[in-house]
Each structure stands twice: as structure tokens, then as C-alpha cells.
Amino acid sequence: MEKWIHIISSVITSLIIYVVAAYAYLSYKGFVYHDGTFELITSANAGLLDFSFKDDETEPKEQKVLLAKNTALNLPQTVIAGSETAPVTIYEFSSLGCTHCADFHLNSLNKLEKNYLSENKVRVVFIHFPLDRRSMKAAMLAECVAPEKKPDFLNLVFSKQREWVLSNEVEKHLINYAMMNDLSREEAERCLKNEDLAKEILYTRQEAIDKLKIEGTPAFLVSTENQKEIIYGISSMSKFKSYLDERLAEKEALN
């Protein structure tokens, strides 16, 4: 009898371990919202590509893909940095729980401020590409704060990333960040239950997977009136600035 009890206990333990591991795996991979729950679709990873934002990088590692002119995209257009009328738009595809994304958003993006963002040359649009449930909740709250508060909320969530990502009370932290950006507790709690908003964010994410082949974050779509190019990695900010200069020069030549 003891032998059978031991065997049954081992089987149950193995099943529990399998279920926990499977849950963690599915939460980490791509998902869609369906019938009140999130379901796995296409895999996506933070840092899948070699993202480095150092200025002293010698060998380029970024991959650029020029999109066909007839590629139809339905992306959000809320500008979080730069002027609304800037000729070059950087769509920043990012997951709020991704450390590489936080590094770019908090550090590298500031290096574009002086000569690009404040000079009405470049604008930045933040596109949510959540990689897990926690990042999904953060993305939803980012869309519920007032548009003028969105840049501050994104900066706060990125700067406090370790605090909420590693916490067992993710919603508590995220709601507090939203409240610090003028959203009431009731509004924040209601936001996290907004299925239409969840579906909208995931629709944009899926479009990025299907049409732009984005599999890792951060990734960037650089768009002008006549050209759209997706960049899957940046080897250095100096090279990225040179790339933006080329795009601005092309735009100027057409005027």
C-alpha cells in the first residue's frame, strides 16, 4: 500500500510541477483575450534580439526592413515626445515589464531630445506590445490616464519596474502609479476590467506580429510621408542618430 501511495504522490507532484511550468510558459508567450481569459497565440520575447544602446559599439547588429508602400497599418497616434508636426515618427513597440525597453525609454530616448525631439524633427509614439499579464495590466492603465499624463505614467512605470514586476501585488502598485497621475482608484480598477480596451491593445500587438514580424521588444517603426522601415535592433545611438539624419535629409530633399 505504501508503495502505491508513494507512486500516486509522485504522479500528483509531477502534474503540479507541469501545470505551474505550463502556466508560466504560456504567460510569458504571446496571448489573446478571448471569452474572459487570455489565450496563447504567437510567441514573443523581451530581448529576443541583441539590443544594445551603447555609443561605443563598433559593429552594427540592427536589422532593418523596408515596408511595402501599400502596407496598411492601424496604429495609435498619441505622441509622447516631440512635436505633433515633426516629419519623422518613431513608433516605439515596447513592453512595460521589459528591462531592455526601460533602458531605451529612460536613457536612450533622452539622447534624442536636444537635436531631434525639441527641434521639431522627430516625434515618438508609444505602442504597447505586452509580453505577459503584468505588462498587459500596466498597458491598460497607461491608456486610461489622461493623454497629457501618459508620458509621466510610462516613465514612472519603467523607473519602478523592479518594484511591481517582482511583486505579488502587481495591481496594487500599478493602481498607485495611476493614482499618482490623476486617475482615481475607482477609475483604475474599472480600467483593469475593460475588456474592450484589452482587446484593442492585443489587436495592435497582433498586427505588429503579423505585418511587421515583431517578435521581441523594443522594436521601432520609423515612418515618414514616403517611407516606413522597421528596425528590430539598435547597435548604438550614434548609428541611430545617423540613420535619423539620413531620413530627415531625404525628407528635406523632397520639399
We report the CATH number of the domain holding residue 158 as 3.40.30.10
Residues 30 and 51 occupy one common structural domain? no
**Residue 7, pLDDT score:** 56
Range of the domain at 102: 46-254
Peptide bond into 76 cis (omega under 30): no
Rounded Cα distance between 188 and 145, Å, is 9
**Residue 145, pLDDT score:** 98
**Residue 18, pLDDT score:** 42
Q: What's at 221, amino acid-wise?
A: L
Residues 107 and 167 occupy one common structural domain? yes
Residues 79 and 7 occupy one common structural domain? no
**Residue 9, pLDDT score:** 59
Residues 153 and 172 occupy one common structural domain? yes
pLDDT in tens, 162-189: 999 999 999 999 999 999 999 999 999 9
**Residue 50, pLDDT score:** 36
**Residue 3, pLDDT score:** 55
Residues of the chain under the 70 pLDDT cut: 1-62, 255
**Residue 70, pLDDT score:** 86
Residues 173 and 193 occupy one common structural domain? yes
**Residue 253, pLDDT score:** 80
On whether the pTM is more than 0.85, the answer is no
Q: Domain tally for the chain?
A: 2
